[in-house]
C-alpha cells in the first residue's frame, strides 16, 4: 500500500479518475491506480472515568424536597448543592427522583 511517493518521498494524495481512484504525487509525475478498496474502522476503548458527583455513594445521606421529576412526575426528589462555577455565581442544585423505579437525575 502506498502512502509516500517511491520517487521523491512526498506524501501521495488520492484523486478521482474517470473510472476509479488513484494515488498521485504533487511534486513529480508519479501516478498509481488504486486496485482494491481498503477500509478498516478502529474504535478506541474509552477509559473509565469517575462519576462527577461521586457516584451512588454521593446520594446516600442527602435530604429530600418537594420537586417534580420531569421524567415520571413524582413529587419528591433528593437534592444536593455543589459550587460548580466561580464563587460569585450561585450554587448548582442537583436532583435525583425519589421514585426508585425512575431514579432520574437533573439539575437546576
**Buried-state track 7-21, b at ≥16 Cβ within 10 A, e below 16:** eeeeebeeeeeeeee
Q: How far apart are CA 106 and CA 45, in angstroms?
A: 28
Annotated binding site for Zn(2+): 5, 8, 25, 28, 69, 72, 97, 102
Q: Hey, is 57 helix, strand or coil?
A: helix
Please measure the distance between the N-terminal and C-terminal CA atoms of the chain and give it in whole angstroms: 55
Q: Which residues are documented as binding site?
A: 5, 8, 25, 28, 69, 72, 97, 102
Q: In angstroms, what CA-CA distances link 87 with 81, 82, 91?
A: 13, 11, 9
Rounded Cα distance, 32 and 95, in Å: 61
Amino acid at each position: 500500500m502506498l502512502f509516500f511517493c517511491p520517487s521523491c518521498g512526498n506524501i501521495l494524495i488520492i484523486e478521482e479518475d474517470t473510472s476509479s481512484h488513484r494515488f498521485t504525487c504533487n511534486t513529480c509525475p508519479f501516478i498509481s491506480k488504486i486496485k482494491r478498496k481498503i477500509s478498516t474502522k478502529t474504535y478506541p476503548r474509552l477509559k473509565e472515568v469517575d462519576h462527577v458527583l461521586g457516584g451512588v455513594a454521593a446520594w446516600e445521606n442527602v435530604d429530600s424536597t418537594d420537586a417534580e421529576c420531569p421524567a415520571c412526575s413524582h413529587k419528591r426528589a433528593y437534592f444536593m448543592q455543589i459550587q460548580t462555577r466561580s464563587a460569585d455565581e450561585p450554587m448548582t442544585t442537583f436532583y435525583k427522583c425519589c421514585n426508585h423505579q425512575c431514579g432520574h437525575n437533573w439539575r437546576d
